[in-house]
Structure 1
Amino acid sequence: MPLTPLDIHNKEFKRGWRGYDEDQVNEFLDQVIKDYEAMIRENKELQNQVQTVQERLSHFATMEETLSKTLIVAQETAEEVKMNAKKEAQLVMREAEKNADRIINESLVKSGRIALETEELKKQASVYRTRFRMLVEAQLELIQTEGWDTLETRTGLE
């Protein structure tokens, strides 16, 4: 068990014949007590500082571990978000391609229908034109026939 300042203070030495000067020994012991007490106080302060530093170190180690775990979770979340965004982009692309194909097919069907209608209209226009020409030609022939001449003379138009 280590000495305490009280042990040093209470220590008594036997008196011998021609021993040391008692006042010098007491002065020296008083100085040893003061120095020893200062060392004990300094030692306790250092122990307190070490404990404080260890507590802070433990706190920072815990923070480091928490930050490390948080970083890992953030990285995993970022990867998951990236994968989900990629999947969603692929779905959007597929949907857009389907819509584009549908629009193209509808346009082709519509353009085919319009082409058929155009051809039908051309045929009808050609038939109408032919019939109208025939009508006009028939009317011209009718006008150019001799019967008109006689009709004009009878009515006195000449």
Structure 2
Amino acid sequence: MPLTPLDIHNKEFSRRIRGYDEDEVNEFLDQVIKDYEIVIRENKELQNQLLSMQEKLDHFSNIEETLSKTIIVAQEAADEVKNNAKKEAQLIVKEAEKNADRIVNESLSKSRKIAMEVEELKKQASIYRARFRTLVEAQLDLLSQDGWDSLDSREPSLDHGRDRDREIKEIY
């Protein structure tokens, strides 16, 4: 156990003949006590400073560790957000491609349907024109027959009129 200033102060030396001057020894011991007290005080101050510095170092080490963990977590979160954004973008692109394909297919289907309808209408118009032409030609043939002049003098044959009606109905 280290000496204290009190230990030095209370130290008694045995006396001998021809010993040291007692006053000089006491003065020296008083000086040693004062210097030793200063050294002890400085030592305590340095220990307190060391403790304070150690606490600050621990505090800053904790902050550094927390910041490192925070940076790692933030980087991981940023990577996750980036990956999620890429996945979402891919899904949006795929959905857009599907919609585009669907729209193109629907357009092609409608185009084919309209083309078929146009062809059908052309056929119907051609058939109508042919029937109309046949009707007009039949009417012209009827008008060009010689029987019109004699209509006033004789009665028309009912059979002849019925035959014409059948021809017209067959055309339609």
TM-score if structure 1 supplies the norm length?
0.73
Task: Please tell me the residue identity of whatever aligns with 1:47.
Answer: Q
Task: Please tell me the residue identity of whatever aligns with 1:17.
Answer: I
| Greater RCO, CA 8 A, separation 6+ | 2
- CA–CA separation in structure 2 for the residues paired with 1:139 and 1:34: 152
RMSD across aligned positions (CA): 3.1
What's 2:19 paired with?
A: 19
What's 2:99 paired with?
A: 99
Give the number of aligned pairs.
148
- CA–CA separation in structure 2 for the residues paired with 1:28 and 1:136: 156
What's 1:52 paired with?
A: 52
- 1:113-145 per-residue CA deviation (whole Å, 9 max, x = no partner) reads 2223333444555667777888999999xxxxx
SS in 2 for 1:105: helix
Instruction: Tell me how far 1:18 sits from its aligned partner.
Output: 2.9
Instruction: Tell me how far 1:60 sits from its aligned partner.
Output: 2.0
Instruction: Tell me how far 1:68 sits from its aligned partner.
Output: 2.2
| Alignment gaps of 5+ in structure 1 | 141-158
Percent same amino acid among aligned pairs? Answer: 78
- CA–CA separation in structure 2 for the residues paired with 1:14 and 1:6: 18
| Alignment gaps of 5+ in structure 2 | 141-172
- CA–CA separation in structure 2 for the residues paired with 1:21 and 1:82: 89
SS in 2 for 1:51: helix
